[in-house]
Amino acid sequence: MIVDLISLEKSVLDFDYSFLPESIDLEGEEAKLKNTVKVQGKLTKGIVQITVSGEIFAEIEIECTRCLQPIEQKLHVPFRTEFITAENYTAAKEAELQANDLDAAVFEGDKIDLTELVREQILLNLPEQIFCKEDCRGLCDQCSANRNLIDCNCNNKEIDPRWAALKNLK
């Protein structure tokens, strides 16, 4: 969804938009969008900046950190981003970043692409670790079998060669 700032009649634009999973490119990421992504929010046009705030609702499929089984999870992402024109953004190399600068983005031209904003917010809010269940046993480090499904009976008594010399100290 591209917002044309020149044809924007009011200083506030309420939006409620749905994106198809194919339109938001999560290629190369461990997550995959399952259904339509719903975005609702408000765009406020100021003199120097454009403020976009709202909420993203999505359903993703992501792999368990331990056993790599796919897990479906719902995402609810509240967001607020300020777009500042390039001429009004500081170009000083020595400028100190403030906390509110982390939610600012520089844009050029007279259009803002909300699709890229939605993609960015989804990626920033993906969980770092997620487990299919709290006591997930993961994969066997020798045969790579899913230890939640089968007991592979691999020999786990093998000693790491770096520690083998300590065995002789008894």
* Per-residue pLDDT reduced to its tens digit, 11-65: 788 889 998 988 888 776 778 899 999 999 998 887 777 888 999 999 999 999 9
Q: CA-CA distance, 62 to 30, in Å (whole number)? A: 6
pLDDT in tens, 61-95: 999 999 999 999 999 999 998 888 766 655 544 55
pTM, full prediction: 0.74
What is the C-alpha R_g of the chain? 24
Q: 55: which strand partners?
A: 40, 78
Q: Tell me the two tokens of residue 146.
A: 């899913």
Measured distance CA(114)–CA(140) in Å, rounded:
43
